[in-house]
Amino acid sequence: MPQVIYGEQGDEIVDLIDKVRGSDDSEVALVLGSGAHGLQTPLNVRLLRQLGARAGKTVSIVSGDPHLQELSRVGGLPTYASVPAYERGIQTVRPHGDDGLAGGAWGVVAGATAPPAPPAPPPSSATVSPGAGLAAARPGVGGRRRPLYFALAGLVVLGLILFFVVVPSATVTITLAGTPLSINPTIQGGADPANAGQADHIVTAVVSSTQSAQFMATPTGQQQNPAAKATSQIVLATDLPAGASSSIPANTEFDTQDNPPIQFFSTQAVTVILPPPSAGQQYGTPSNPIPVQERAAEAKGNVAANTITQWPMNPCNPGQPYAAICRPSDITSTNPTAATGGADAKNNTVASSGDVNGWNNQVTQSNQTLTAQVNQDMQSKAAGKTFAKDPGGNGTTVACTVTPPLPAVNAVFTPTQETVACNGKAAIYSPGDITNDVNADLQQQVAHGDSLATDSINCTKPAVTQAVDDGTVVLSIQCTSFSRPTIDTNALKAQITGKSAGDARNVIQHRLNHVQNVAISQGPIPFFWLPFFSSRIQIDEAVVAQTPGGP
């Protein structure tokens, strides 16, 4: 059965299309009043026809507005002057006004003959609007909507009740007179866990970090090293029972047993005394030393100890003055220590002044970078705890070393990998431990039956007076607060729920001691009563110093 849909005066073309698409029937009669907004242009008529056809709907227009009739007819939509005309299938052939629900047939279906029109009713003294026929075509609409109006009115009343009961909130600020408290403790800290729980003691911790970097130190200096003569000392010994003495002139020759021998010569004249051997000894105590120097300047002269054992001018040697009375073995010569200092001429690679300056700059830069890395690493390991550093900077240490040590300028040096390492240590403590300690000190001063006004605690910043990087810390701090009467907020809220502001003040002042003031604020607007739910009431406490002679 065709469905008749009534459009509203303010419906736009989109609204009309949605109504057509939402119809349950494939044939739709769209009833529009005079001047309907959504169908004022030929384009809108074409859109309604095309989109309705896509949705499988056959759309007809029912209107008493001549302008809408013309637009609809030209746009290709079946057009009717009234609902009765639509029900009888009588389309308009030219624009004309609506005849009302009686529906005089001003138009006919193509090919059909219009029946004769009934006589016109007598004119009414009231002016009939152009859309009066459409209004008459919807009998009983107001009656069908009346239950909806009652439902809407009920929802409004329910909403108002909920608003006045559920939405209101209140904040009650109670100002109490409190007893001032003051502490100035010296807090000691250490890494020993035994400090935990002791009055004015906290447990500290130590964080450490090691960061290193390397660079290659390559010397570029050149230095010519002249040849040098090896030097040593010669001592004499004898097995003669009477001992001996001898004057050793300068340039006296002493040789090794090599072939050819390495020759050494005394550098100065020396008189030597040769003590006789003691009982049980083959030779006596060695003589005082004779300084000698290799004849040639060469590294070969660096011979081992006890290798310079030949003394060509030994007075007991054959052909020497005492050869007839002693043997060569009666007086021996040797070097107790190795000969040193001999060197061949050569060019050495040394650390130039520019080399050493450049390496020192690298070390300085590495120290700065590594120190920053050490501090950052320790900060990360501290995990939010505070570094303890006293006025002298103690408590945090960073020390850097270079391995191996850099050479002096012009020192012989080979390419070497240098390692710069920085080690840091720091004592740290938790600010929360300081807070707990001062709260405990303040709590000891709270009067019996009162409570500590934790929201009124005011402390200076902890001052570290002494710190060591092993975790030893000494801090000082000053704190003030109040001892205030204890309030059971849940019980109090239950007593003032739903009461007027004045009654609530009276309840609070009679229930609590030392009340200085009660301020009540309500939202979203002031009401004559506090909320009926205690959860909608917030109680704030403020504490002021108790005046002398006050309550």
pLDDT digits (tens, 9 = 90+) for 523-536: 787 777 888 888 88
Residues 349, 353, 356, CA angle at the centre, nearest 5°? Answer: 85
In single-letter form, the type of residue at position 513 comes to N
Q: How far is CA 133 from CA 60, 65, 67, 101, in A?
A: 17, 11, 16, 6
501 or 227, which is more confident: 227
pLDDT of amino acid 415:
95
Q: Which of 9-18, 73-82, 378-387 is the most confident on average?
A: 378-387
What pLDDT score was predicted for residue 544?
Answer: 85
Can you tell me the distance from the alpha carbon of 67 to that of 49, in angstroms, rounded to the nearest whole number?
Answer: 17
| 494, 500, 502, 503 alpha-carbon torsion, rounded to 10° | -50
Question: What pLDDT score does 265 carry?
Answer: 98
Residues 6+ apart with CB under 8 A from 420: 212, 213, 214, 215, 362, 363, 366, 367, 370, 400, 401, 402
Of the listed ranges 54-58, 93-97, 355-359, 454-458, the least confidently predicted one is 93-97
DSSP 93-143: SS------TT----S--TT-PPPPPPPPPPPPSSPPPTTHHHHHTSTTHHH
CA dihedral of residues 116, 119, 124, 130 (deg, nearest 10): 0
| Residues in a beta bridge with 284 | none
Is the pLDDT higher at 81 or at 139? 81
Does the pLDDT of residue 101 top 60, yes or no?
Answer: no
| The residue to which tokens 């003051």 are assigned | 182
Low-confidence winner among 47-61, 70-84, 129-143 (lowest mean pLDDT): 129-143
Q: What is the pLDDT of residue 344?
A: 92
Give the predicted TM-score (pTM) of the model. Answer: 0.50
For residue 111, the tally of other CB atoms under 10 A from its CB is 5
In this predicted structure, the answer to whether residue 514 has a pLDDT above a threshold of 60 is yes
At 145, is the pLDDT very low, low, confident or very high (cuts 50, 70, 90)?
low
Confidence check: pLDDT of 323 > 90: no
pLDDT grade for 139, boundaries at 50, 70 and 90: very low
Other beta carbons within 10 angstroms of residue 165's beta carbon come to 13
Model pLDDT, residue 220 = 94
Q: For 23-48, what is the mean pLDDT?
A: 84
Q: How confident is the model at residue 488 (pLDDT cuts 50, 70, 90)?
A: confident
Q: Which domains, and CATH codes, for the chain?
A: 3-139 (3.40.50), 149-183+479-551 (no CATH), 185-226+348-442+463-477 (no CATH), 228-344 (no CATH)
Alpha-carbon distances of 316 from 244, 288, 324, 423, rounded to whole Å: 12, 19, 8, 69
pLDDT at 484: 83
Query: What per-residue confidence (pLDDT) applies to 221?
Result: 92
Residue 348 is predicted with a pLDDT of 87
The pLDDT of residue 462 is 94
The residues, ordered by sequence, that sit 6+ positions from 138 with a Cβ below 8 Å of its Cβ are 6
The H or E element that residue 463 is part of is strand 463-467
CA distance 217 to 221: 12
- DSSP bridge pairs for 291: 233
Q: Which residue has the higher pLDDT, 58 or 545?
A: 58
